[in-house]
A = this chain, B = another copy of it.
Amino acid sequence: MGLIGGSLGLDLQAAGAEVRAWVHRPQTAERARARGLAQRVSTEPEVLRDCGLVVLALPLDQLLTPAPELLGALPAEAVVTDVGSVKAPVVAVWTPLVKGFVGGHPMAGTARAGVEAGEAGLFQGRPWVMTPTPATDPAAVEAVWQLAEAMGSRPLRCDAAAHDRAVALISHLPVVVSAALIAAAAGEGGGAVAGDAEAAGEGAGETGELARALASSGFADTSRVGGGNPELGTLMCQGNREAVLAALHRYQRELATLTAAITAGDWPDLRRRLERCQAVRPEFL
């Protein structure tokens, strides 16, 4: 009953479904009830009995090591899906455990969290990725597809590993790229090598003060996701480590190519590359 679970509860009820919620803490249950996030909210696993569709709206670490109590509470015939931001390891864990499992990732905003965060219409117009395997029951995929459509999402299906590579590039890589920018501008990161006075000391000196005084919207935008929730950023890198590292290596090659053009003073080459960036970016918007 956090941002994703709570928002689902509101929209599902609005769509006419009966929604039951199993939560861990009595305090959360109380707030979920007060906010009307589900018709029934309980701290007892029995609340899931006879549910036809179960959405595991859990943090990635709990998805990767499911509690035995949770596994025991899932109805044998239920379609089960999750909302984790990394898919291959989740699919690997759940496919052998639950017959009706379909990996899922509704890509909605994550700035807010907790039982007060859920809101109506959160999934409207946003992608909802499904990552069935060749062995997944087509009826289960269809059920999750209908859920996504009922929430106003744009459902799409793809291979779990392809999903993880794509989100590594457009969601996880930006966090690392942006965090390194903040660290470089602040001049206080651990990247400084001994004896490198410029890197080690400038952050606190005239350049660092000036950088803080002169930073404007370009720095603000480029640094936004790097200055976001540290726990979320860490979980993304942890859960999608291989794809994030591959994306970082790809990024470092591109950065090295641009740096080489500047080092060589090859301005036509740099300009051509920036023109290509300007031309290709709208494909992502």
Contacts and interface: CB of A to CB of B under 8 A. Distances in A.
A218 to B, nearest CB: 5
Interface in A154-176: 156, 158-159, 162-163, 165-167, 169-171, 173-176
A216 interface: yes
A220 B180 contact: no
A47 interface: no
Contact of A183 (B184, B198, B216, B254): B254
B173 A181 contact: yes
A180 B270 CA distance: 11
Interface string A183-196: 11111111111000
A199 B234 CA distance: 25
B215 A284 contact: yes
A223 B230 CA distance: 20
A109 B199 CA distance: 29
A285 to B, nearest CB: 6
**Size bin of chain A's contact surface:** 35 or more
Interface stretch (A8-16, A49-57, A137-145, A240-248): A240-248
A252 B251 CA distance: 11
Contacts of A233: 270-271, 274
Interface stretch (A76-84, A90-98, A275-283): A275-283
Nearest to A283: B212
Interface in A40-80: none
Given A107-B214, A173-B185, A191-B250, 8 more contacts: A162-B207, A166-B210, A174-B223, A176-B259, A180-B255, A184-B253, A184-B254, A215-B284
7 contacts: A107-B216, A158-B210, A162-B207, A169-B211, A170-B219, A176-B258, A183-B273
